[in-house]
Structure 1
């Protein structure tokens, strides 16, 4: 449900109630989570889910993540296992998405899974998101609230810059704290990392007691796997020691730069700043050079987003 003007709601009890009512009525509502702002639709409503794809310009073969308020709710839609319980106990609520087989009679729109027999599902760790999910009394399909392939939004301003007039409302609860999308893991046939994200792979491996495999094909089985994704309009050059003439420079660690993800070299701070700083530098209209980022911990997810932002398109 698009409107000529998107409502800008404050994340108080009134705003949450209004947002929940819009979701129940089939409208699209962008809302804050700890990772990025999601573009929510009732996952049982095929027409509403179709509008998510239309508003974003998202390919219909790219599945969506469903957000629920707690683990018990998740088990209504997917087949559960001991490994799933281990991961949920350790990381939910939080920045981790599980891809699990759909439960028979799940009642979700087929567009949510892009026709796959599995569902990507998450319990967000954000009080406003949790309150909205409980008030809506619905599983909410919510990819990032931005035009498909562009930089993910970590503020309501980012959402409105890309989707104003195309969605019902944005529920504004300030900047996101993690700033990177969720890590995505599937458990069958073996635990496999489908997308690096807000929970480092090493932490998941420690809980499972085994290494995470990597996908062996290019088949899309979860969100965030497109080669070109999270991209600014400007060209992006990675692992740069300095900016060439005409470029703006995104630094990391103690160095001279136009914007610095973390002068202290803190990867958590860098993750939280990544998309906001890419938005800001993209507004300059100049190519963006990016300093090297370590591949440890959250650095793996940051480098994943940067490599997709820099991919040919």
Structure 2
């Protein structure tokens, strides 16, 4: 059961305070443009271990390291020419690059789950940038939720899921993108997770990407088959109401909650996790046995939305 107790340092309002706590080895949840991250100093093995403990995350599942810019990323990983082009095009923003570790990188081995690569991202949100500047070091930050559950896009989601397992929560309001970052490997160019940057935009630079989003062995964050799951089961591609389900609508299919009545995929992405949280609570409160979700087109951000929904609906171990 997730704790509902208040974090030791409470809900805080200033990014400099969040950065100072991270530099001291604390566990701090903070917003990015994608979702709230559960941050720890990526060079501090004890702090990173607390991420895995707080989330109940398998130790073979690597973490994304957040840095303020490309200059801060280059001492950590080897950038090939394609990686440089992608970083210049999409950083800061919701793109994560999985690249070979550079010798002398200084990161905890727990961050990479023992892999020879590291996942790096430069967040765009000013508040996240201010946290990184105040911390003065790379910050490992997976989504701030219990492992396998719905990602948080508001501070209250973090508190509901993790409570006093974190030392502080920086409240930055709702996340604008609402989906985790797109994750790529550049050699060879491969999509590892669909996310906040539409694949079509990336392929304008890379050409057609290979897909390896649910491999036999996890090589990047977000590749677990069952992930992003509410407490109640999820059923996909439902086009009408059922008395035993909460319906999450989209476009022409109106529901108890609707991702986007106009069929806008950006609006749907921003609403996805918050609406899943709300639908889960509504289903449990009203005694309904599942969440039904209307079809979402496989285009643009629809690829990432459907990726999350398919993992939310996957059989659970």
What are the equivalent positions in structure 2 for 1:108-123 lying under 5 Å apart?
108-123=107-122
Q: How does 1:1-313 map to 2 (within 5 A)?
A: 5-6=6-7, 7-11=9-13, 15-188=14-187, 190-208=188-206, 210-215=207-212, 217-284=215-282, 285=284, 286=288, 287-313=290-316
> For the aligned residues, what is the CA RMSD?
1.4
Give distance in 2, aligned partners of 1:10 and 1:264.
Answer: 36
Shift of 1:246: 1.4
Contact 1:68–1:122 (Cα < 8 Å) also in 2:
yes
Report deviation, 1:82. 1.0
Q: Which runs of 4+ in 1 moved over 6 A?
A: none
Q: Is 1:34–1:125's contact at 8 Å kept on the other side of the alignment?
A: yes
User: Distance in 2 between the 1:101 and 1:282 partners?
Assistant: 39
**TM-score, normalised by the number of residues in structure 2:** 0.94
- Inter-partner Cα distance in structure 2 for 1:267 and 1:185: 21
- How much does 1:178 deviate? 0.2
CA drift at 1:76: 1.1
CA–CA distance in 2 between the matches of 1:10 and 1:45? 23
* DSSP-derived class of the 1:283 partner: helix
Aligned mates of 1:274, 1:217 — CA distance in 2: 24
Measured after TM superposition, the shift of residue 207 of structure 1 is 1.6
- Please state whether the residue corresponding to 2:211 is helix, strand or coil: coil
Unaligned runs of 5+ in 1: none
User: Retained in 2: the 8 A contact 1:83–1:187?
Assistant: yes
Deviations 1:272-292 (A, max 9, x none): 000000000100213100000
Check the 8 A contact 2:194/2:303 in 1, yes or no. Answer: yes
CA contact (8 A) 1:10 1:173 kept: no
1:217 deviation in Å? 4.2
Secondary structure at 1:303 match in 2: helix
